[in-house]
Structure 1
Amino acid sequence: MKKISNLVVCAMMAMVLVSCQGNQQPESQGAAATTNVPDGGQSTVQDDESQKDVVKVAAASADHTTLVAAVKAAELVDVLSNAGPFTVFAPTNAAFDKLPAGTVEGLLKPEAKADLQNILQYHVYVGGIKTEQMQDGQVLGQANGDNITLSVKDGVVTVNGTAKIIASVPASNGIVHVIDAVLLPPAKK
């Protein structure tokens, strides 16, 4: 009986060893697998089933083509595609059209990238805040280090006294508040 149990134990150990060796991949096979990883950041992940992130929400809107072009030129797509949460105050194309002639074109030039990043980051609050959570006089610290002030009157939310929130769209990594004016950060001292 003892010989049979020893034989069973030996057979089980042999099976474990064989199964462990079978799970190992040759080094060349493992290296080949890593070469198939796409270049780029979070924005390159293909996902047609989950809720859209803040960048994809804006990209899906015909009213935000200027904003999307600016986010791409400022190289902020990957940052805004990350987990967040982000609250994005997203000016419409019409809001950008209100700026002095040539402003948008000038900001889209490579040499103006730092200025464009500063302006776009002034439109982003790191954290999720819905309109029903906003309070009159509330101050939010924006991603560029400056503050915005919210005004709430009769259910209408205004940012810095100039930009009205005209719609809000939830996203997988935050919320997009559509606004009717471009927010310009205060001049640096």
Structure 2
Amino acid sequence: MKSSIKTALAFSTLLFTLSCNSSDTKGDAAATSSAAPAPSGQSGVQDDQSAKNVVQVAIGSKDHTTLVAAVKAAELVDALSNAGPFTVFAPTNAAFDKLPAGTVDGLLKPEKKDALTDILQYHVSVGVFKEDMLQDGQSIGQVNGGNITISKKDGKIKVNGVANVIATIPASNGIVYVIDAVLLPPAK
């Protein structure tokens, strides 16, 4: 028993000594610091087996490059990559093109991050609202604290009377409704 304790202590001491005397770690640190930083947070999790989350759905769509750029500029990628569940109303590039000239470029500037975040959060609900759950006149609370109103007529869904739902895409952490207009939150 005493010899096994002595052996374990000697082995631990050897490991400690080796770890303290490892070769030049400054060179290793410099080599890794020059590489691009690895994504952190939930968006950095590599999973090619599971269904795509709401952010990955948007990233995989050629019609949502403006939305993806806005989500990145507002630093919301990790938040929307989390477990959720979320209902996301995702405007297409054409929807952003309908805004007055210069609006999108202005919102993507760092000093407009709060306004951009408010607009993007007005497109997200916590919870999954499937099509069969949406009712005409229904009000749904959004992440930014505002509410949207659903119109449903002849099986067609409209948001705030301005945005038509043109596609529905399930995601691992919620559901994405592709819409043809940008939802602008009411003035606070």
Tell me if TM exceeds 0.5: yes
Q: Deviations for 1:51-91, whole angstroms, at most 9, x for unmatched residues?
A: 00000000000000000000000000000000000000000
User: Greater CA radius of gyration, 1 or 2?
Assistant: 1
1:145 maps to amino acid? G
What is the 5 A alignment of 1:76-95?
A: 76-95=76-95
CA–CA distance in structure 1, aligned partners of residues 182 and 126 of structure 2 = 18
Q: CA RMSD in A?
A: 2.6
Moved more, 44-53 or 109-118: 44-53
Shift of 1:131: 1.2
2:60 maps to amino acid? A
Secondary structure of 1:69's counterpart equals helix
Check 1:48–1:141 CA distance in 2 against 1; reply closer, same or farther (3 A cut): same
1:133 maps to amino acid? M
CA–CA distance in structure 2, aligned partners of residues 169 and 155 of structure 1 = 17
Shift of 1:137: 0.6
What is the 5 A alignment of 1:3-22?
A: none
Secondary structure of 2:187's counterpart equals coil
- Structure 2, unmatched stretches of 5+, are 20-37
Check 1:27–1:93 CA distance in 2 against 1; reply closer, same or farther (3 A cut): farther
Shift of 1:148: 0.3
Match of 1:103 in 2: 103
TM-score, normalised via structure 1 length: 0.81
CA–CA distance in structure 2, aligned partners of residues 29 and 175 of structure 1 = 51
Residue 43 (str. 1) matches residue 43 (str. 2): yes
What is the 5 A alignment of 1:109-124?
A: 109-124=109-124
Shift of 1:117: 0.2
Shift of 1:29: 9.7
Match of 2:27 in 1: none
Secondary structure of 2:90's counterpart equals strand
1:173 maps to amino acid? N
What is the 5 A alignment of 1:133-172?
A: 133-172=133-172
CA–CA distance in structure 2, aligned partners of residues 58 and 107 of structure 1 = 19
1:107 maps to amino acid? L
Secondary structure of 1:164's counterpart equals strand
What is the 5 A alignment of 1:61-80?
A: 61-80=61-80
CA–CA distance in structure 2, aligned partners of residues 165 and 28 of structure 1 = 64
1:69 maps to amino acid? A
Secondary structure of 2:185's counterpart equals coil
TM-score, normalised via structure 2 length: 0.81
- Structure 1, unmatched stretches of 5+, are 1-13, 31-37
* Residue-pair matches, total: 167
4+ residue segments displaced more than 4 Å: 24-30
Q: Deviations for 1:113-144, whole angstroms, at most 9, x for unmatched residues?
A: 00000000000000001112100010000000
Secondary structure of 2:140's counterpart equals strand
